[in-house]
Every structure is written in structure tokens, then in C-alpha cells.
Amino acid sequence: MLGLVLAGGHGSRLRPLTRSVLKQLLPIGNKPIITYGIDQLISAGIEDIGIVCQEDKREAIDKVLELYYGFKLGSWAKARFTYLFQEEPLGLAHAVLISQKFLGDELFIMYLGDNLLLSPINEFVSKFRGADATASILLKEVANPEVFGVATLDENGSLIDLEEKPKLPKSNLALVGVYAFSSKIFDAVYAIQPSKRGELEITDAIKLLLQQGFPIQYGKLEGEWLDTGKKDDLLSANRIVLDQYCVRNDLNSRFGTGILGRVEVGKGCRIEGSRILGPVRIADRTELIDCNIGPYTSIGSDCVIASASISESLIMDGSQILGVDKMISRSVIGENCVVKGNDDQFINLTLGSDSVVEVC
């Protein structure tokens, strides 16, 4: 069985962050979003994975694959990766279409690279492996089904309909961005037409298979499914990931007695005169001087933060926050930003990479 991870799209709802950083590479809990999905596939026994992206994004993804999976062109450690270039994001079904040569006649799992599931997909994958099904979809009850693909079941629990972003949803069962397919999906994709959005919808292709009488499985996701499409979604996802995965390190002996709760500190960090309230993750080589940090805050590598207070925020690699008396809360600050100033109120920021902001 093969894996297919989608890392295309423009990430327009996350601008300015995505002007310079691919949406799927934004960090949650100091770890790129795409790695959570790749980890899921590897955990389910899938070691051959195609990455669908635009060609100019390859270098950035390469760095992530090398750092987390030991992957380099021509060699591999935890998984073998193949790039599949999609010049324009013309729909999920189009991503399947351009991957046909790589996928061949194999069963495969398609995983959206900006998806964040905190419960394993192993059972979903193994059930499809052992069945004679053409496709399988993962469903989750949501409060706003109109913004997703929606599945309808009959009174016996059988799948009877699928619709993409309906104005009047027939159920609250949304399609989570994890799918399983046999090679029959290619015939369905060739047969459908672009939607009103101008995209080839994977929901339409699965619906066609259903109408043609092919067996379509489904599973229901009981654990968390985190959308990362907007700033507040990133912060909510960061909070949940820190709650679930952040561990307590014995750090007071290294940095003094101002560290409380579950706090992880990377290598080569300098912490002086600061109070940190977990859960908090701090990556390598970051300096914190006379700060109040946390809770629910992730700080990337090579940051310098001095005389500042930060809570419930994401600070990405290489950024500096200097002498800001305002409490920085519920903020997302991109790579290599500089924030400095002096005041006594709250401040809420969303900054793309290389921004410079002076608060006065």
C-alpha cells in the first residue's frame, strides 16, 4: 500500500504567514503540520509516500523530510518519498490524477497535508487492506458541515450520498481529509467534470463510484480532528497538541526555579530571570531573558526574547521580541520577525516572515 500526501494550495486564509511559508510547513507544537500526517502513514506501515506539491516548494519540503525522516534524494531512512508536481491546485481529484503513474494499480491512502488528526489511522488502514472495497472515507461529526464534503447515511447506517460543501447539508458527517482508494478511482476521476469552483472534486469521484455500485467503506473518527486553515485554528491546534504531547523536563536545576508545569527546552538554550508556565515548547538555541512565557506557547529555534510576556502564541524560528511591555497573547509570529516597543496594554499579532514591528 502506498501513501499520497497533498501539500499544494495557496493557503490564502493564512496570509500573510503563507506568503513565504507553505501552509503545510507551518509549525504546530514546533513541528511542521505535514509531519503529523506522514507520521500517521508510517505508523500504519506505509513506507512509500508520494508528496504532491508545486515544484518551487520542493526545496522547503526537502529540508523537513531530511530533518524528520533522514530522507535525501537517492536514499531514505524512515520512508521513501517521491515528488509529484502539481503546477496549479485544481482539486483533490486532480492531485490523484497527476499521481497515477506513481500509484499504478496499488491500494493507497490519500492524506491532506494540512490535516491534523491526534488519533491513529491504523485501524482505518488495516480494515481497507483486508476488505474488497473500492474506496473508504473517514467521517467526523462537525458543527459546520456546509464547509466540508458531507456524507449521508440511511437508517441502517449505509452510505447513500456524498456532496461537496452543500448549502443545506443533509447530515453533520464531514469527510475528514483521509481517504483510501483502489486504482478504480482513476476511472471515476476521468469521468467527472470540474465543479463550480473550477476544481475536480474527490467527493464527486467517490459519489460516482457509489452510484455505479462499487463498495465504499466508511469509518467514524472519534478523536480530535483539527482544521489548520485560519490563525485561530493554528492556535487551537497548538494548544491541543501541547496538552497531549508536551512532557515535563527537569529544568529547574539548569535554569533556576521559575519553570512550572510541562515545559520542554531544546539544546543550547539560554534562560535567565524568566518565568515559564507550561505547557510550553522551546526549540534549540533560543534565548529568554527577563520574560514571562506561557501557558500554551511554542517558540521556535534561534529566537531571542527579552523583557516580554507571551501566552497562547506561536513564535517561529529566528524571531526577536525585545522590550515589549504589552502582553503578547493569541499571536502567530512568522520566521525572522522583529517586534520591539514599550507600552502597557495587550497586543495581538499575526506576522508573516521577515516583518519588523515597533510597538509604541
Domains and CATH numbers, the chain: 2-233 (3.90.550.10), 248-359 (2.160.10.10)
pLDDT of residue 244: 86
Interacting residues of 213 by C-beta distance below 8 A, sequence separation 6+: none
C-alpha cell at position 117: 488528526
* Residue of 102, 95, 116 lying closest to 9 (CA atoms): 95
pTM metric for this prediction: 0.87
Reduce the DSSP state of residue 150 to 3 states and report it. strand
Q: Give 54's Cβ-side CA count (13 Å radius).
A: 14
Q: How far is CA 278 from the centre of its chain?
A: 22
pLDDT of residue 173: 93
Residues β-bridged to residue 311 = 329
C-beta atoms surrounding 118 within 10 Å: 17
- In this structure, what are the phi and psi dihedrals at residue 24, rounded to the nearest 5 degrees? -70, -10
C-alpha cell at position 233: 485554528
pLDDT of residue 109: 96
pLDDT of residue 343: 56
Residues of the chain with pLDDT under 50: none
* Residue of 322, 317, 270, 314 lying closest to 294 (CA atoms): 314
Dihedral, 129, 123, 184, 107 alpha carbons, nearest 10 = -50
Measure the CA–CA gap between 356 and 267, rounded to whole angstroms: 27
pLDDT of residue 234: 85
- What end-to-end distance do the CA atoms of the chain give, in Å? 57
Helix 58-69 with 33-43: angle, nearest 10 deg: 50
* Residue of 27, 165, 41 lying closest to 92 (CA atoms): 165
